[in-house]
Amino acid sequence: MHHALTLAGETLHALASGALYLPGHQTLVVSDLHFGKSERMARLGGPLLPPYETRATLARLDAEIAARSPATVICLGDSFDDLAALHGLDPEDRLWLIRLMAGRDWIWVEGNHDAGPPDIGGTHRATVQIGPLTLRHIADPRQMAEVSGHYHPKAQLAGRFRPCFLADAQRVILPAFGTYTGGLRSTDAALTTLMQPRALAILTGPRALAIPMPR
Amino acid sequence: MTLLPLALSHWFAAQGWTLHPHQMAMLDRADAPATLLIAPTGGGKTLAGFLPTLAEVAGGHAGLHTLYISPLKALTADIRRNLRRPVEGAALPIRIEDRTGDTTYTQRRRQRADPPHILLTTPESLALLLSYEDAPRMFAGLERVIIDEIHALAESKRGDQLSLLVARLQSLRPGLRLVGLSATVEDPPALARFLAPDTQILIADPGPDPDIAMLDTSLPPPWAGGGGRYAIADVLAQVKRHRTTLIFHNTRAQCELFFHDLWAQNDDNLPIGIHHGSLAREQRERVEAAMTAGALRAIVCTGSLDLGLDWGDVDLVIQVGAPKNVKRLVQRIGRANHRYNAPSKALLVPANRFEVVECQAALDAVRAHTLDGEPRGPGPRDVLCQHILLAACAGPFDADDLYTEVTRAGPYAALTRPDFDACLDFTATGGYALRAYDRWQRLMQTAGKWHLRDPRAAAVIRQNLGTIIDVETLKVRLKNRTGGMPLGEIEESFASTLTPGDTFLMGGQVVRYEGLRDMTVEVSRTAGRDPKVAVFNGSKFATSTLLTHRILEIFQQDTWPDLPAHTASWLSLQREVSRLPDPHSLLLESFPHDGREHLVVYGFAGRNGQQTLGLLLTKQMEALGLAPLGFVATDYATLIWGLEPVTDPAPLFDPQTLRDGLEVWLAGNAVMKRTFRASAIIAGLIERSHQGRRKSGRQATFTSDILYDTLRKYDADHLMLHITREEALRGLVDFARIEDLLARVGPRIHLTRLPRVSPLAAPLFLEPGKIPVHGLGRDRLATDAARQLMRDAGLD
């Protein structure tokens, strides 16, 4: 179940999983995967969290790729919790990622957590242009027709917060796809100033649900 | 026998004080390695605990001599004042200081370098002291440890932690003497074992029996609900007739509602205040000061006044709502008349008809001197994990030595070595099946000793010490230009249900929700009388096993001369049209009502147990095609409604089926996730969310639910999941009470089919807290809500 959006004449499917699909370009976009988060926290002397978030995220990504067989996958920044996290990946998780990358164009857009090309193949870019759309990690308020991530937006419906897309006529912001990620409420000033008054929040979960963006 | 310093004896004599026999006895036993003193409130038990210390320090002592630990910060300050009077009066060279979370940084540093003779503190502050490398020096001369209100501490994880801390103190200082001070408890030997294996028990004269009765009210109590607001006029009449009255409530919400309505009827403007744990500290301190000054005629309060502060003037305690637990009732009654050897006076106000019977059962129990209490079970392992981290902060340790030390603590006496090793492995490596952290272990072993890999981690561990897990709350302030007066705090989950314009009760006044700013709820005063939104949820205690048994016995009487006529005739009618529940069988009633089929299960398993029963039974009814739609649980019964009648109850109550249901249902339930969060914080898997961090970094933090789900999926056998299950079973799930019920009734399950609602079942329909049963229902609700929002906004 997805919610169909139109941005600069392009059709975008906001998927219930939190991924964005561009049917006209056979392109799947996911943002803020934060692979290796638990390993990074442990390295910095923090708590030893269950080290399974990378495979949990890969499992969900694998399901979306299997369902749509995209020609291109774009990871919209903060794909790794930091560049060293890539080297800390469990060998099995690393193999799984390489298997998913095989046979398709894979683009790593640079985020604030993972500046620099990851040493695992694919293409590394600051921004990506697809037709009229510009894809980058952090939204640029002046930019039109933009797809971005970074903020991990979440919104509340029926007493419960869920990660969500934010969409208006100018831009779409993706929720975080990574398993160990929190969210920023859509009511936060950083988001209410960025989004137009009639923006939508599309909640993820069992199905994609659009509501007026809570402000 | 230890003698009091002459100056102190003289000072006592000048005050006209004579020592009570148990105070003398404590002096006699000053050399005993461990003593438990059980004395009623007002019996001077704190002074009894300190007398040997005063005698010994007056004779000369360098450094820390006695450590006093109490569960309340307020109590440490109070004791310091009380203790200084005789010490200064007799001009004894004794330095007394307290140390809590409120003590300034400079003061705390100085105390570590140059400790006083007597240090008054809390378990949490002691944990912090013991986590420093200089702890051995600070406690080098320690002679005595006094644990006040040990009965209250021993019922919680704070007590489990304290027992480990005391074991550690004993390692630092072999020969240390321990004293526990307790109110009346049901099982003194168990409490003695909690303190130390060889504890002597000293029981003071309990004083005269309390003068206790049910309040005669002009109106009968309502059929259901809580709060006792029907009795406000009668309560006010009692307040007028007494000097000072404490009016206890079981929850903060009921406390607020009662206080608000009481003032509406307080035509004489009697000075009456409110006190509960969600009010701002400034507010509480103002009420406490007014109380001490004798300026108040009554305080409407919750358990926040169960302990501590000795107010000599209280001459009446009113308990509103069923006491749920006889021991707590007896301790509350003790708050009236803090003079030893005078009977305390107390009145019970049942909030509904069922509670009339429960209050009668409680009165009978108090008069018969029987107390309730469930055995605590072995010390929880999440607390042990935290203690291992604490040990590592203090310096490198040997696992064998630490194991020996830990098993000296009462609650951990039966801890096996493999269980200890599993906890050690968890703190060191995370204990995961996937050994991911070989390079980044938290604890490492060098030359046989365990130590922190990164010494900087000690700061984080220290910040997270303690076993009190607060629900996430937000501060409430009056909105104005200068920031506004703090009123108290509300649970974040409650705050999230508010929209601007909603009104709710806080500190007895109706306030209007204006908005959220910097993680603070801003409100304004409003003229409205009726708050729109119910107040925050408080914790709900379950009625004790002892009380439920006594209620079932009352049901077996032929007539009920002790009960008010309205309640006696209600029970007679139930006996006529159906039957009354009894101790040896399980009564079920089924009847149609309002187009739905209903089933009532009179299990008397306590609120949590009946709730779990409701979840398990509806799960099975769903599987059997009986289409349950929802249920509601009280301490006594569960009412289930659905589309099909239950005709054969036996398969529903098969113990094995219920246990299997528990395994399946339990794991994914919200109760488990809440329990997991608490245990994960205590064990050091996740850090406490500090107000400041929540404010700045919403993106960086993710919920503990995600960790729980991930663990269950990828590492089902992990230690934290075992701990969570164990904690939930003895806590919120309370499956033990269901097991008790099944053992008690055996195959004797009686289903009575009735044409309509029975008298006993009728009040259940008025109970709040109905729980819907739906698989896909919740999704459907969300979809409908989303569609409506889009339509309203003109966006569809």
Residues B350-365: tens digit of each pLDDT: 998 899 999 999 999 9
- How confident is the model at residue B439, as a pLDDT? 87
Contacts of A169 in chain B (CB under 8 A): none
pLDDT in tens, B85-136: 899 999 999 999 999 877 888 998 899 889 999 999 999 999 999 999 999 9
**Would you call A50 and B707 a contact, using CB atoms and an 8 Å cutoff?**
yes
Considering only CB atoms, A206 lies closest to which of B699, B713, B779, namely B779
Give me the residue from B457, B783, B789 closest to A45, CB to CB: B457
User: pLDDT above 70 covers what percent of chain A?
Assistant: 99
Which residue in B522, B518, B471 sits closest to B492, CA to CA? B471
Test A43 with B440 for CB contact under 8 angstroms.
yes
pTM of the model: 0.86
pLDDT of residue B309: 60
For residues B768 and B639, the answer to whether their CB atoms sit within 8 Å is: no
The whole-angstrom separation of Cα B377 and Cα B723 is: 13
- Answer yes or no: is pLDDT of B186 > 70: yes
**Per-residue pLDDT averaged across B171-182, rounded?**
96
* pLDDT above 90: residue A159: no
**ipTM of predicted assembly, 2 dp:** 0.92
> Taking CB atoms and an 8 Å cutoff, what residues of chain B touch A45?
453-454, 456-457, 460
Helix%, strand%, coil% for chain B, nearest 5:
45, 15, 40
Mean pLDDT value across residues B654-683: 82
CA dist., res. B226 & res. B332, Å (int):
19
* Mean pLDDT score, B409-413: 96
By CA distance, what is B701's nearest residue in A? Answer: A182
Look at B377 and A55; give whichever has higher pLDDT. Answer: A55
Q: Do A55 and B429 touch (CB under 8 A)?
A: no
Residue B592 parent element (H or E): strand B586-593
Strands B244-248 and B314-320: parallel
**Beta strand pairing call for A27-30 and B298-301:** unpaired
Q: Are B159 and B194 in contact (CB under 8 A)?
A: yes
Give the integer Cα–Cα distance in Å for B79 and B44. Answer: 12
B697: pLDDT strictly greater than 50: no
Structure confidence at residue A103 (pLDDT): 93
Q: What is the separation, in whole angstroms, between the first and last Cα of chain B?
A: 87
Reply yes or no on whether the pLDDT at B776 is more than 60: no
What is the rounded average pLDDT of the residues B711-732?
Answer: 90
Mean pLDDT of chain B: 87
CA distance B142 to B169: 9
Residues of B in contact with A159 (CB under 8 A): 496-497
Name the amino acid, one letter, at B64.
L
* B774 has a pLDDT exceeding 80: no
Tell me the per-residue pLDDT of B229-278, one tens digit each, with 9 for 90 and over: 999 999 999 999 999 999 999 888 788 889 988 999 999 999 999 988 77
Amino acid, res. B774: H
* Strand partners of residue B596: B593
Which region holds residue B448: left if phi is over 0, alpha if psi is between -120 and 50, else beta?
Answer: left
CA-CA distance, B569 to B559, in Å (whole number)? 9
Task: Choose the mutation target among B440, B442, B519, B679 for the interface with A, i.e. most A CBs under 10 Å.
Answer: B440
- Cβ distance of A50 and B795 shorter than 8 Å: no
DSSP H or E segment with residue B27: helix B21-28
| Confidence band for B785, pLDDT divided at 50, 70 and 90 | confident
B377: left (phi over 0), alpha (psi -120 to 50) or beta: left
Question: What six digits make up the tokens of B217?
Answer: 């009210």
Q: What are the structure tokens assigned to B701, written together?
A: 């933090």
Of the residues A49, A78, A89, A161, the best mutation for testing chain B's interface (the one with the most B CB atoms within 10 Å of its CB) is A49
Print burial letters for B403-415: b (CB count within 10 Å at least 16), e (below 16).
bebbbbbbbbeeb
Looking at the DSSP bridge assignments, the partners of residue B446 are: B449
Q: How far apart are CA B335 and CA B338, in angstroms?
A: 6
Residue B600 has pLDDT above 60, yes or no: yes
Is A154 exposed, middle or buried (CB count within 10 Å of its CB: 0-12, 13-18, 19+)? buried
Arithmetic mean of pLDDT, B586-607: 93
Q: Are B789 and A210 in contact (CB under 8 A)?
A: no
Per the model's pLDDT, the better-predicted residue between B595 and A27 turns out to be A27
Q: Label the pairing between strands A171-173 and A160-167.
A: antiparallel
User: B322: burial class by Cβ within 10 Å (0-12, 13-18, 19+)?
Assistant: buried
Determine whether the interchain pair A39/B430 forms a contact, defined as Cβ–Cβ distance below 8 Å: no
Query: What is the SS3 assignment for B647?
Result: coil
Confidence band of A126 (pLDDT split at 50, 70, 90): very high
CA dihedral (B604, B605, B607, B612) in degrees, to 10, reads: -130
Higher pLDDT, A200 or B704: A200
Beta pairing class for B66-69 and B118-121: parallel
pLDDT of residue B691 exceeding 50, the answer is: no
CA distance B122 to chain A (A): 26
Tokens of B100: 């809590």
CB B245 within 8 A of CB B257: no
Residue A5's pLDDT band, with cuts at 50, 70 and 90, is very high
- Among A133-147, B319-333, B501-515, top mean pLDDT goes to A133-147
Q: Measured in Å, how far apart are chain A's first and last C-alpha atoms?
A: 25
For residue B706, give the nearest of A161, A100, A86, A93 by alpha carbon: A161
Question: Greater confidence, B197 or B700?
Answer: B197
Residue contact B710–A53, C-beta within 8 A: yes
Query: Which residues neighbour B68 within 8 Å (Cβ) at sequence distance 6 or greater?
Result: B49, B50, B76, B79, B118, B119, B120, B121, B145, B146, B148
Residue A89 has a CB neighbour count (10 Å cut-off) of 20
Residue A181's Cα: distance from chain center in Å?
11
B638-642 and B628-633 as β-strands: parallel, antiparallel, unpaired?
antiparallel
- Name the residue with tokens 């003790």: B334
> Per mean pLDDT, which range of A36-45, A141-150, B528-537, B646-655 is the poorest?
B528-537
Residue B322 tokens, joined: 């069923």
Q: Using CB atoms within 10 A of its CB, is residue B636 exposed (0-12), middle (13-18) or buried (19+)?
A: buried
The answer, yes or no, to whether residue A37 has pLDDT greater than 70, is yes
Average the pLDDT over each of A25-29, B332-336, B354-358 and give the range with the smallest value. B332-336
pLDDT of B695 above 70? no
Show Cβ contacts of residue B684 under 8 Å, excluding neighbours closer than 6 positions: A47, B385, B386, B389, B427, B461, B464
pLDDT band of B489, cuts 50, 70, 90: confident
What b/e readout covers B471-507, taking b as 16+ CB neighbours within 10 angstroms?
Answer: bebbbbbbbeeeeeebbbbbbeebbeebeeeebbbbb
Distances (CA, A) of B369 to A162, B185, B210: 53, 10, 11
Site of tokens 């070595």: B417
- Cβ atoms of B732 and B671 within 8 Å: the answer is yes
The 3-state DSSP class for residue B417 equals helix
How many alpha carbons fall within 13 Å on the CB side of residue A34?
Answer: 26
Is there a contact between B97 and B63 (Cβ–Cβ < 8 Å)? no
Given pLDDT bands bounded at 50, 70 and 90, which one contains residue B532? Answer: low
Report the distance separating Cα B606 and Cα B610, nearest Å: 6
Q: What are phi and psi of B601, to 5 degrees?
A: -115, 105
Nearest by CB to A42, which of B440, B456, B684?
A: B440
pLDDT tier at B391, thresholds 50, 70, 90? very high
Q: Which of B429, B701, B710 sits opposite A50 (nearest CB)?
A: B710
In the DSSP assignment, the letter for residue B221 is P
State the DSSP H helix or E strand holding residue B69, giving kind and residue range, or none if neither. Answer: strand B66-69
Q: What is the pLDDT of residue B696?
A: 39
The arithmetic mean of pLDDT across residues B469-498, rounded, is 73
- Give dist(CA A130, CA B327) in Å, integer: 72
Contact list, B699 vs chain A (CB under 8 Å) = 151-152, 181-184
Cross-chain CB nearest to A47 (options B687, B710, B715):
B687
Q: Could you tell me the pLDDT band of residue B497, with boundaries at 50, 70 and 90?
A: low
Residue B783 has pLDDT above 50, yes or no: yes
Q: Dump pLDDT digits (tens) for A44-70.
A: 888 899 999 999 999 999 999 999 999
For B756, the token pair is 């309509």
So what's the pLDDT on residue B698?
47
Q: CA torsion B445→B450→B452→B458, rounded to 10°?
A: 180
> What's the token pair of residue B106?
């400079």
Inter-residue contact B683 to B675 (CB < 8 Å): no
Instruction: For residue A57, list chain B residues with Cβ-Cβ distance below 8 A.
Output: none
Kindly identify which residue of chain B lies nearest to residue A55, measuring between CA atoms. Answer: B714
pLDDT at B769: 65
- Top-confidence residue, B745 or B253: B745
**Beta strand spans in chain A (E):** 2-7, 10-15, 20-22, 27-30, 72-75, 105-109, 123-125, 128-130, 133-135, 146-148, 153-157, 160-167, 171-173, 184-185, 200-203, 209-212
A19 CB-near residues (< 8 Å, 6+ apart): A28, A29, A30, A61, A64, A174, A177
Predicted local distance difference test score (pLDDT) of residue B310: 62
Average pLDDT estimate for A190-203: 95
